[in-house]
Structure 1
Amino acid sequence: MHYAELLKAREELTGPGGDFEIVEAEVLGKKLRVYKNAPPSIREFWASTKQFADRTYLIYEGERLTYAEAHEQVNAIAAWLFDQGVQPGDRVAIAMRNYPEWLLIYWACTSVGITVVGMNAWWTAEEMVYALKDSEPKALFLDAERLERVRDRPDLTGSMKMVGVRIPDLPANVTPWSEVIAHGGDMPDVTVDPDSDACIFYTSGTTGFPKGAQLTQRGCVANLMNMMYASASTALATQNATGVAPPEDPPPPVSLLTTPLFHVTANNCGAYATTAAGGAIVLMYRWDAGEALKIIEREKVSSLGGVPVMARELINHPDFEKTDTSSLAQLSGGGAQVPPDLVHKIESAISTARPATGYGMTETCGIITSVSADFFVDKPDSAGPAMPNFEVKCVDELGDTVAPGELGELWVKGSSVIKGYINRPEATAESITDGWLHTGDIARIDKDGFIFIVDRKKDMVLRGGENVYCAEVESVAYRHPAIAECSVFGVPDDRLGEEVGIAIVLKPGEKLTADEFREHCASIMAKHKVPRYVWFLADALPRNASGKFVKRDLRDRLSAELQSAGH
């Protein structure tokens, strides 16, 4: 493989005079790695896309919006907000599905230094109330489903300006979207502080109420530079190794966004990268593999990004073979580890598409690592090398750096690490030490600088003193051809502390017994890692709003069934 060429490409691109030159700068009192050529804020980035005026920008069902039309509406939204007294430093919440309006509101707010609060569209009324009281937005843009959840809470909505999006019959206290757009006007003339909050995204997967992560303008722009750098470094390394140059003037990308815009996967990674390239973003009402195949064929989609299970569902769908997917150049998975077997399935199932993944977090405004094409195929269980604006290290329980290649918790430091969590100084101090973010992931770093995520620090089964990493067991399970999806977790055990449990959904028409499955596992990995408890579920595994499997719900429900059965 071309690892020497990759290292050379990285040095060339990030060195003096390179397109992605890295320099040190003081950011909020800390010396951090930053991109010398990055736009100072999101305002300048969004303004730069005016050059794509006549191109199609947003596609949703039968609707299409050009870049020129998008800029006109973004300007109107920003001007309207200023007229309502919303100023730089204030917050505006968005609570809706992936409608085109989501992105228009986002660009309007971030272009004038107003902080976007991304509300999880799956939240109940109580969860919405918590986040709105926590973030105190001056205005709330929401669709019919979200309005229904908060309309009877005058204590909450009384002082907040509410705008209804795609709602035909509005209560008197809610402004129609059409009125905002009809306002017109120019983009207000302000200077945006690079270290101000661009958005508040609430983190999932923790106990209790979620934490509002403060993603800065600098951090979001740095993540865009990371996305662009990842593509450029892979392309340059491949060109240097093979002598084959990529097309000089490739067509604008067409990206199908499949995950919610209130998370960094769709917003900071998918939407930013496609917008920077002057491409078209296709939005879906909800994820459906069959509908996605129709969209890919109809819109000539070139890239599809989502959580790994979506790529698996696409390839396994009965209509896959009948659909023209030749426009696809990339199938990427993020938000969860891509099982190695899926990397090879993507590579073999679609001749034009290459597999890709990015490992990252809300707390890093997007990706920490990225890997694609030949490098991903060669190291399918890797998350790729760290992006150049990060320092990375693996540490032990005391926070001391472990030896190269050894397992430890991954810590990262760089210009796209969040400022902290709003109203949660203790949580901030717990997660960030002197600029180093504790990812909570167990990892190792190989000789080529590629990072391998072994598991979540707390997503691990401790069986009789032996660590069993869930991701490893899932990876082995997916090597069985009958399995469509699975999730591994710890089941409480009086003797060993925990036993390994797995919930499995089979592909249509397939049959598999628990004993046959255990034999499959035992032929590949150590006996103590083979699941003792095996559940076959008829329905798809439960997921949260970002598409990740909800292990805690599965574990609690299935463990309770065991207890009630006397196990």
Structure 2
Amino acid sequence: MYYSELRQVRDELTGPGGPFEIVEADILGNRIRTYKNAPPSVREVWLSTVVFAERPYLIYQDERMTYAEAHAQVNAVAAWMAEQGVQPGDRVAIAMRNYPEWMLIYWACVASGVTAVGMNAWWTTEEMAFALKDSEPKILFLDAERLTRFREKPELAGSVKLVGVRLDKTEPDITPWSEVIAHGGEMPAVTVDSESDACIFYTSGTTGFPKGAQLTHRGCVANLFNMLYAAASSALAVERATGVAPPATPPVPVTLVTTPLFHVTANNCAAYGVTAAGGAMVLMYRWDAGDALKIIERERVTGMSGVPIMARELITHPDFPNTDTSSLLALSGGGAQVPPDQVLKIDEAVETARPTTGYGMTETCGIITSLGGDFYVDRPDSAGPAMPVYEAKCVDDDGNEVPLGQTGELWVRGAAVIKGYINRPDATAESITDGWLHTGDIARMDEDGFIYIVDRKKDMVLRGGENVYCVEVEAAIYRHPAVAECSVFGVPDDRMGEEVAAAIFLKSGEMLDADSLREEMAKHIAKHKLPRFVWFVDEPLPRNASGKFLRRELRDTFAAQMG
């Protein structure tokens, strides 16, 4: 394989004078690696796309919007928000499905120095209420489904101004989207600070409440450069080794976005990448492999981003053999580790497409590592090398770096690491030490710098790309008066990667069934966090010497009983 070429290319691309030159800078009190040639904010990224005026940009069902039309609407939203008194540094929340309006609002915010708050569309009313109180947005854009949940707690409104998107009827207290767009106007002339918050994305919290991660403009731009570097370095290394050059004029990307835009996988990785290249984003109402195949054929999709199960469902769908997928160049899997067998199946199933993956987190504004093509096929169990903007190390429980090849918790430091969590200095201090982010993943690194994720340190279930913290689910279970003890853990699942399971010991004389428990829990946490498997035990749960439940022992015992 071409690992010596990859190292050589990395040195050239990131060294003095290279397009991805790495320099060190004092950022938020730490000496951090950053890209010398990166624009100072996301504003410049969006404004640079005005040159793609007549190209198609947003495609949703039978709706199509060009870059020129998108810029006009983004400018109108930004001008309207400014007229409402929204200033740089203020926050504006988005609570909706993957509609085209999501992206228009997002770009209007970041291009005018306003912080976009991405609200999880699966949240319950209770979870929405927490995030609104936590982030204090000046404006909330929401669709019909989120409005229904919002109405369950009228006190949520406070002083926030509501804008309705794709509502079936007019509401007296809600400004319709059409009025915002009709406002017209120009993008406010502002200077956006690199260390200011571009967006706040919520990640499940270990205390039962989500944490609002502060993704800076520098971090979001660094993630875009990480993705550009990953593609460039891999292609150049292969060319050096084989003599086969990529097309002089690569095709304009058409990306099928299948995961929620309130996550970094879809927003910071898929949307940023395709937008910066002047490509088209194709959005879906909800994931369906059959519908995705039709879209790929009709729109000549070149790449699809999603969690690993989506690629598996695509290539195993009954319609796959009869669908023209020849436009596909890449099938990406992120948000969970791709099973090694699937890497080879993707490579064999679609003649034109290569498998790619990225390992990352909300807390790194996107990817930490990237791996694709021949390198991925050669090392399908690896997540790839860390991007050059990062320092990376594996550490023991005391934070000491372990020798190369040994396992430890992966820590990374670089420009794409978040500033912290809003209103949570405790959580920030727990997760970031001198700029080093504690990923919570147990990993090892080889002599080529490739990272292998082997386990998880956090008590967390990674279900279909969604982080589900065990204690959050346990807190919801304990709300039921019949429960004496409970422990939540993840169990392997072919489709979702992991599923949520719970072992429960009831109070003496109490009766409870799984459906009744889930019904009660659904009032407090989103549906994807509800345990698929509920295991009622006859004896108190096993504990260690310090009194903590033996989560792994319970998981192994449960798995053995499941056969």
Q: TM-score, normalised by structure 2?
A: 0.84
One-letter amino acid of the structure 2 residue matched with residue 236 of structure 1? L
Structure 2: distance between partners of 1:307 and 1:73: 31
Structure 2: distance between partners of 1:371 and 1:266: 17
Structure 2: distance between partners of 1:439 and 1:16: 30
Preserved contact between residue 205 and residue 211 of structure 2 (Cα < 8 Å): no
What is the CA-CA distance between 1:29 and the residue it aligns to? 1.8
What is the CA-CA distance between 1:504 and the residue it aligns to? 5.7
Structure 2: distance between partners of 1:63 and 1:432: 43
Aligned to 2:108: 108
1:134-191 CA-to-partner distances (Å, cap 9, x unmatched) read 1000000000000111125332214111000011312111000000000000100110
RMSD (CA atoms):
2.6
**SS of equivalent residue, structure 1 residue 93:** strand
Alignment of 1:118-267 (within 5 A): 118-204=118-204, 206-267=206-267
One-letter amino acid of the structure 1 residue matched with residue 82 of structure 2? F
What is the CA-CA distance between 1:459 and the residue it aligns to? 5.4
Q: Structure 1 498/166 Cα, relative in aligned 2: closer, same or farther at 3 Å?
A: closer
Q: Structure 1 562/228 Cα, relative in aligned 2: closer, same or farther at 3 Å?
A: farther
Aligned to 2:509: none
Structure 2: distance between partners of 1:150 and 1:21: 47
**SS of equivalent residue, structure 1 residue 65:** strand
**SS of equivalent residue, structure 1 residue 345:** helix
Structure 1: distance between partners of 2:527 and 2:225: 30
Q: State whether structure 2 residue 454 is matched by structure 1 residue 454.
A: yes
Q: State whether structure 2 residue 56 is matched by structure 1 residue 78.
A: no
Alignment of 1:367-386 (within 5 A): 367-386=367-386
Question: Alignment length, in residue pairs?
Answer: 494
One-letter amino acid of the structure 2 residue matched with residue 458 of structure 1? K
Aligned to 2:3: 3
**SS of equivalent residue, structure 1 residue 137:** coil
Preserved contact between residue 227 and residue 269 of structure 2 (Cα < 8 Å): yes
Alignment of 1:288-367 (within 5 A): 288-367=288-367
Identity between Structure 1 and Structure 2 (%)? 70
One-letter amino acid of the structure 1 residue matched with residue 531 of structure 2? D
One-letter amino acid of the structure 1 residue matched with residue 85 of structure 2? G
Preserved contact between residue 459 and residue 489 of structure 2 (Cα < 8 Å): no
**SS of equivalent residue, structure 1 residue 371:** strand
Structure 1: distance between partners of 2:259 and 2:190: 32
Preserved contact between residue 334 and residue 357 of structure 2 (Cα < 8 Å): yes
Preserved contact between residue 23 and residue 36 of structure 2 (Cα < 8 Å): yes
What is the CA-CA distance between 1:204 and the residue it aligns to? 2.9
One-letter amino acid of the structure 2 residue matched with residue 276 of structure 1? A
Q: TM-score, normalised by structure 1?
A: 0.83
What is the CA-CA distance between 1:458 and the residue it aligns to? 3.2
Preserved contact between residue 442 and residue 455 of structure 2 (Cα < 8 Å): yes
1:257-301 CA-to-partner distances (Å, cap 9, x unmatched) read 000000000000000000011100000000000100000010000
Q: Structure 1 344/187 Cα, relative in aligned 2: closer, same or farther at 3 Å?
A: same
Q: State whether structure 2 residue 531 is matched by structure 1 residue 553.
A: yes
Structure 2: distance between partners of 1:499 and 1:74: 43
Preserved contact between residue 56 and residue 279 of structure 2 (Cα < 8 Å): yes
Gaps of 5+ in 1: 461-469, 475-486, 490-496, 507-543
Structure 2: distance between partners of 1:354 and 1:498: 37
**SS of equivalent residue, structure 2 residue 12:** helix
One-letter amino acid of the structure 1 residue matched with residue 534 of structure 2? L
Structure 2: distance between partners of 1:228 and 1:457: 30
Aligned to 1:403: 403
1:29-82 CA-to-partner distances (Å, cap 9, x unmatched) read 211111011011011111100111110000000000000110010000000000
Q: Structure 1 205/422 Cα, relative in aligned 2: closer, same or farther at 3 Å?
A: closer
Alignment of 1:414-453 (within 5 A): 414-453=414-453
Q: Structure 1 170/452 Cα, relative in aligned 2: closer, same or farther at 3 Å?
A: same
**SS of equivalent residue, structure 2 residue 346:** helix
Q: Structure 1 238/132 Cα, relative in aligned 2: closer, same or farther at 3 Å?
A: same
Structure 1: distance between partners of 2:402 and 2:58: 47
One-letter amino acid of the structure 1 residue matched with residue 226 of structure 2? N
Preserved contact between residue 253 and residue 274 of structure 2 (Cα < 8 Å): yes
Q: Structure 1 405/552 Cα, relative in aligned 2: closer, same or farther at 3 Å?
A: farther
Gaps of 5+ in 2: 471-486, 497-521, 541-557
Structure 2: distance between partners of 1:66 and 1:343: 34
What is the CA-CA distance between 1:503 and the residue it aligns to? 5.0
Aligned to 1:29: 29
Aligned to 1:58: 58
Structure 1: distance between partners of 2:255 and 2:107: 18
**SS of equivalent residue, structure 1 residue 26:** strand
What is the CA-CA distance between 1:505 and the residue it aligns to? 6.8
What is the CA-CA distance between 1:551 and the residue it aligns to? 8.2
What is the CA-CA distance between 1:552 and the residue it aligns to? 7.7
